[in-house]
Amino acid sequence: MTLSGVRVEVLVPAVLRTDCGGAARLSFVLSSPATLGDLLAEVAGAHPRLERRVRDEQGAIRRYVNVYVNGEEARSRAGVATPLHDGTQVQIVPSVAGG
Amino acid sequence: MTVVLAIGTGKGLFLARSGDDRHEWQISGPHFPMTAVYSVAIDTRRQPARLLVGVSSSHFGPSVAISDDLGETWQEPEVAPIAFPTETGAALERVWQLTPGRADQPDVIYAGVQPSALFRSEDGGRSFALVRGLWDHPHREHWEPGFGGKAVHTVLPHPTDPARVVVAMSTGGVYRTSDGGATWEATNTGIKAYFLPDNPYPEFGQCVHKIARHPDRPEQFFAQNHHGVYRSDDGGSTWVSIADGLPSDFGFPIVVHPHRPGVIYTFPLTADGLRFPPEDRCRIYRSEDAGSTWTALAKGLPEEGFYATVLRDALACDDADPAGVYVGARSGEVYASADEGESWRLVASHLPDVLCVRAAVVG
């Protein structure tokens, strides 16, 4: 039997691409089972400035940042405990805020 | 002489530069657009001067960036420059103050933040560590947020003694350490908390808006309180009112002249419940005798119909002689005086709301 990792693609909004070398898409391979929190920990290792734009130092996703897991906003699922499966697409979206 | 004026606004940082004794200004920006810049410092202990800016994105959180070429380029560390340790359970909300340390400690920078805490950098502002003595203070659970948030907004390192630092917070009041930050004592005797009618002179809990001191008189402090203007001549132990002669004792900033101890500036607002300048006129008030008497300064400032607030860090002096004085309003106007406040010129208008100004000679 061959064990393979959980492949996840992260879509980065234009405003944050300077925090990850200009990339619009990032690919990660996580150990199974994997959660959104595991992914963000990997993001922190590879692109720490990008990760701290998304969540604070206590690990909470920032109030006006939405993270979608295969099209579903993570808060409506299990937050950072949301499970990620092979082929999952995670999208970071600034929410509507400000004036 | 080249002077840089840094203007922090609700939507970014603007930099103004003057090479002709502060008459004409060239403005660049916004730097860090769509971030609120509540704190900026011009660190002239090193050459070229270093700019430090505390930015807050409503989406992506707070951070600190530095520039060693007067804003041509900026560096922001990969790892968060200021972050609360995990065991505190706290998360940084805003950097309210960036204060260079003593001249003989050129890499020391202090940061006053929200939630109320003090951080200290020993690498010129690239990374900061929490000052645990203040965070662990037994009063902390009783500090309450003012309208602007619960923050340490003023940090005054002692000019000669590295073990002594004074901070001010809203609410909470004034605290000082004489052992390098290990222990702190509240020093608010005489400062009124009118909003606590059952105990209007508490040990702590005052809403002190700003404090200032001149390095040549390290025991003398000035405070603009949430109603009340005060002076201390004993290192902050006790405070007396110096509000007589002002049209109001409410306001946010108080600034000390860079070369003349006892010369101070403030910008009164009518009252807590009526936050407009008295008579709807834009006037800076200056005392040249440590608060015994006050003079209104208005030449060149709007004479009527001025309704804007000047926030706690939006009044500042540069370090030239004669000193320049700068004031920024929430209406997006910035005025500068090249003659210690006697006359004023418009530097910028139609900016986003001005949150802070700082100025210094940089060449």
Residues of chain B contacting A94 with CB distance shorter than 8 Å: 59-60
Q: What is the pLDDT along chain B (363 residues), one digit of tens a residue?
A: 999 999 999 999 999 999 988 999 999 999 999 999 999 999 999 999 999 999 999 999 999 999 999 999 999 999 999 999 999 999 999 999 999 999 999 999 999 999 999 999 999 999 999 999 999 999 999 999 888 889 999 999 999 999 999 999 999 999 999 999 999 999 999 999 999 899 999 999 999 999 999 999 999 999 999 999 999 999 999 999 999 999 999 999 999 999 999 999 999 999 999 999 999 999 999 999 999 999 999 999 999 999 999 999 999 999 999 999 999 999 999 999 999 999 999 999 999 999 999 999 998
Q: What distance in Å separates the CA atoms of residue B281 and residue B284, rounded to the nearest whole number?
A: 10
Cβ proximity of B297 and B310 under 8 Å: no
Closest Cα in chain A, distance from residue B94 (Å): 12
Q: What distance in Å separates the CA atoms of residue B270 and residue A12, rounded to the nearest whole number?
A: 48
Asked if A65 lies within 8 A of B89 by C-beta distance, the reply is no
Q: What distance in Å separates the CA atoms of residue B18 and residue B243, rounded to the nearest whole number?
A: 35
This prediction has a pTM of 0.97
- pLDDT at residue number A96: 80
Domains of chain A: 6-94 (3.10.20.30)
pLDDT tens, position by position, A56-99: 999 999 999 999 999 999 999 999 999 999 999 999 999 987 67
Asked if A98 lies within 8 A of B76 by C-beta distance, the reply is no
> At residue A3, does pLDDT exceed 60?
no
Residues of chain B contacting A95 with CB distance shorter than 8 Å: 59
- pLDDT at residue number B148: 81
B42-310 falls under which CATH superfamily?
Answer: YVTN repeat-like/Quinoprotein amine dehydrogenase (2.130.10.10)
Q: Report residue A4's pLDDT band, with 50, 70 and 90 as the boundaries.
A: confident
| Mutate which: B35, B58, B60, vs A, most A CBs within 10 A | B60
- pLDDT at residue number A98: 67
> At residue A2, does pLDDT exceed 70?
no
Q: Is B86 on the interface with A (CB under 8 A)?
A: yes
Closest Cα in chain A, distance from residue B59 (Å): 5
Closest Cα in chain A, distance from residue B140 (Å): 20
**In this structure, how many other beta carbons lie within 10 angstroms of the beta carbon of residue B284?**
24
* Interfacial residues of A (vs B; Cβ cutoff 8 Å): 16, 47-49, 52-54, 56-58, 60, 62, 64-65, 94-95, 97-98
Q: Is B83 on the interface with A (CB under 8 A)?
A: yes
Nearest-CA neighbor of B243 among B220, B217, B271?
B271
Asked if B61 lies within 8 A of A52 by C-beta distance, the reply is yes
| Mutate which: B59, B75, B79, vs A, most A CBs within 10 A | B59
Closest residue of chain B to A94, computed from CA coordinates: B59
Asked if B60 lies within 8 A of A94 by C-beta distance, the reply is yes
> At residue A1, does pLDDT exceed 50?
no
Rounded to 5°, the CA angle B11-B350-B209 comes to 60
Q: What distance in Å separates the CA atoms of residue B88 and residue B109, rounded to the nearest whole number?
A: 22
